[in-house]
Amino acid sequence: MIVYAPGVMTSNIDKAKNNGSFISKSKFLCGLQCHKFLWHACNAKDLVPQPDEATQAIFGQGHEVGALAKRMFPDGVEVGCGILDLDETIRLTQDAIKLRKPLFEGAFSAGGGYCRVDILRPAPNEAWDIIEVKSTTSLKDVHLDDLAFQSWVLTNAGLKIRDCYLCHINSDFVRRGEIDPKKFFVLKDVTAQVAILSRRVGDKLNGMFNTIRQPNPPDIKIGSHCDAPYTCPLHDQCWSFLPEHNVLDLCRGTKKGFDLLDKGVTLLRDIPASIELTDNQAIQKAAAISGKPQVNTQAISDFLSRLVYPLHYLDFETFATAIPMFDGVRPYQQIPFQFSLHIVRSSEAKPEHVMFLAEGRNDPRPEFMHKLRAAIGHTGSVVAFNAPFELSRLKECGEVLPDFSARVKGIECRIVDLLDPFKAFDYYHPDQQGSASMKAVLPALTGRSYKNLAIQEGGAASREFLRVTFGAVKDAERQKVRKQLEQYCGQDTEGMIWIADALRQAI
């Protein structure tokens, strides 16, 4: 039985080299998404934007999760740590494989494909199991393609593969002290699905090599594949031909939008009357034709009548980490660390502002709830934008901090969601471009935006808080970022006051 076949591996390396290059696992996955993306990733890397901060943060979490998974195999051997040279990592793997121990990051190449395997576990009869570690809480189709590529490469490199596993995070896990990786992860046997997909890897690789050897990128139209399984880094470039108020803004109308583009209809206002639209899509078309907001004055008036003074405009900022930082917390559970509260006591009163931003590295929730309880009054509406988010955080805090549960119930029945009139399209401004998010609604209605702020969205707020709270940063930097966080969260609640005022003026 051949477990390790250096001759096979070497001959395939040479063959692939003669063919021009290898296709790595990540490029193979690019190619499955779109051959134009693959062509750029191989031939015009400088035209592919670098991962943004949000993506880098996801990579960072992935590395932490990967390190935790390795702890399931205390006798595991790390292969070629920090070595990027492809031939060298393959050579080191050939040596390490003889040990018959779990291998981390073993490198293999065959038939023009190259991959490093998260964990390779020895199995009976000189075989091996492939274990791919993911920081998700469930299995996704792209994970199976990922494993199929690895299985194909390793099999062609002469290894006998017994089983393939996806090792993903157990969403039911709750931290209690030191994390046991065997409880934190779920090992899902996906051997059968991977076997089916592996059969097609060779043909797909050949097709990809044909594409990357062309002098120019293939002419591929934009489509739903641009955002699945991931948003393509070339999205902005490929979609830049679209003018404002185009058919891809159609609310819940992605397929319809692409069909219209295929028929040569680009602008919302040019959609023929023969095309069936939903009520909300018809409102979008009417707004695009008139260039003016579409307002259901009765519905807006009814909504505003639900706002009872004193008005409490409330917004939370949260962070969520794959590996829970505190006891009693699940993977990716949202932990509130900041709130902004603007209180407007009467129609003539000036807004009063109260803010909380956690300090130190302890679980911020007890102090968060303590400060919120002290700041928020017992009467009047509590207004949030996309209120279920704030409400869920309050309920979670009420569950782990029973002292606050009665107060949470009191707030719950006073909550009004400022998103409601926009979600229902009772107010729709053409500049919202099909979105009811705060970041779309605020500039469309008030002309104000987040562009002048250093922190412009919740994801950045979360990353910056984690960086300056748990990272090694100088105090001056920490204070600067904390100011920026206060400005950002403060604008969210002040922005809600501006939006409510704009709605009042619209009726």
CA distances from 257 to 224, 253, 261, 340 (A): 10, 6, 6, 38
Taking the complex as a whole, the smallest distance from the CB of residue 278 to ligand SF4 amounts, in Å, to 26
Nearer to ligand SF4, 199 or 221 (CB): 221
Q: Which stretch binds ligand SF4 (CB under 6 A): 232-240, 307-315, 458-466, 494-502?
A: 232-240
Which of 159, 234, 271, 358 is in the footprint of ligand SF4 by CB under 6 A?
Answer: 234
Per-residue contact flags (x/-) with ligand SF4 for residues 17 to 56, judged by CB under 6 A: ----------------xx-xx-------------------
Size of the site for ligand SF4 (CB under 6 A): 12
Does 115 engage in binding with ligand SF4 (CB under 6 A)?
no
DSSP 131-173: EEE-SSSS--HHHHHHHHHHHHHHHHTTPPEEEEEEEEE-TT-
| Interface with ligand SF4, residue 149, by CB under 6 A | no
Cβ closer to ligand SF4: 96 or 232?
232
Please report the beta strands in 152-305, taking only residues with DSSP state E, as ranges in sequence order: 161-169, 185-189, 294-295
Burial class (CB in 10 A: 0-12, 13-18, 19+), 150: buried
Residue indicated by tokens 């469930």: 138
Q: Compute CA 25 distance to the chain's CA centroid, rounded to the nearest angstrom.
A: 21
The contact pattern for ligand SF4, residues 351-380, with x = CB under 6 A and - = no contact, is: ------------------------------
* CA–CA distance, 179 with 173 (Å, rounded to integer): 10
Q: Which residues contact 183 (CB under 8 A, 6 or more apart)?
A: 170, 173
Shortest distance in whole angstroms from residue 48 CB to ligand SF4: 9
The separation between the first and the last C-alpha atoms of the chain, rounded to the nearest angstrom, is 80
Token pair, residue 423, equals: 């979600």
Interface with ligand SF4, residue 71, by CB under 6 A:
no
- Indicate whether 238 belongs to the interface with ligand SF4 (CB under 6 A): yes
**Which range binds ligand SF4 by CB under 6 A, 17-25, 220-228, 267-275, 392-400?**
220-228
Q: Which of 222, 408, 438, 460 binds ligand SF4 (CB under 6 A)?
A: 222
Q: How far apart are CA 468 and CA 479, in angstroms?
A: 9
- Among 96, 232, 416, 419, indicate the residue that binds ligand SF4 (CB under 6 A): 232
Site residues, ligand SF4 (CB under 6 A)? 33-34, 36-37, 220, 222, 225-226, 232, 234-235, 238
